[in-house]
Amino acid sequence: MRTSVLMAVAALAVACNSSSPTAPTSSTATAGTTPTTPGVDASGIYAQFQQAVTVSLAGTTATLRSTGVPDHASPYWPNGSALREAPHAGMKLAPNQIASQSLSLQVPLAPAVGTASDTPLGPMGMAVNGVAIFNQYAAGRSPLTNEILTFDRFNGHPQQTGQYHYHVEPLWLTSNRGVDSVIGVLLDGFPVYGPRDQNGSMPSGLDSCNGHSHATREVPAGIYHYHVVSAPPYISGCFRGAPGRLG
């Protein structure tokens, strides 16, 4: 895992610059071919998004827009930023710096469970603070082993254009909002929760996309949702619904 700083920096510079979906791969776990079920109204999820995110609900689509910058400290803020801090012990600082983006996601407002599909490199969702959510892969769909060394203390980092993002549990959100809270939504419209269910228990029966279905505070009727976990795929191993689009 700690082979060299140069490997970690090189992996970051290449791995996180793609925003184009990749075709489903045989090496990526899927959840099977469950027939599509009726969509569930997920509008209650969007009340959890912070002011940094502009949320527009219209027809069958929720549109989320943000600058993509985090609301917390990081060594990746430019010099002179009030939020810039020193790297934590053991961190391998990459050369990229946080820069404002034009991040826009259009997702189904009533997502439906259907055939699982691969997640893209680049943004696959948005956290409630407006930061992009990336999948579990580095360049070439390789493990995050070396990139993990470059994560700041809240588990984020920017790619070469300055787009800050989370691949794993966003500790700023789960530590401040709660380990059972909504931390974001993926392009398929299904929400992502922290590492605990809202009754305080560890999630059980997660499928290979890293999700399961039951009632939540935000959707009392019940909804499929993902949970962050401490091992790959970390946030989601695949989309469980039909993904929307970026832009």
Q: Residue 16: is its pLDDT beyond 70? A: no
User: At residue 30, does pLDDT exceed 80?
Assistant: no
Model confidence pLDDT, tens digit, residues 48-87: 999 999 999 999 999 999 999 999 999 999 999 999 999 9
- The C-alpha angle with vertex 194 and arms to 193 and 200, in degrees rounded to 5, equals 105
Cβ partners under 8 Å of residue 182, min gap 6:
45, 48, 128, 191, 192, 193, 218
Rounded to two decimals, the pTM is 0.87
Tell me: the pLDDT tens digits for 107-128? 999 999 999 999 999 999 999 9
Q: What is the pLDDT of residue 12?
A: 41
Could you report the per-residue pLDDT of 168-200, keeping only the tens digit for each?
A: 999 999 999 999 999 999 999 999 999 999 999
Q: pLDDT > 90: what percent of the chain?
A: 81
CA dihedral 57, 62, 66, 68 (to 10 degrees): 160
Distance CA 95, CA 11 (A): 12
- Tens digits of residue pLDDT in 32-41: 334 356 789 9
Separation CA 71–CA 3 (nearest Å): 32
> Do residues 224 and 174 lie in contact, with contact meaning Cβ atoms separated by under 8 Å?
no
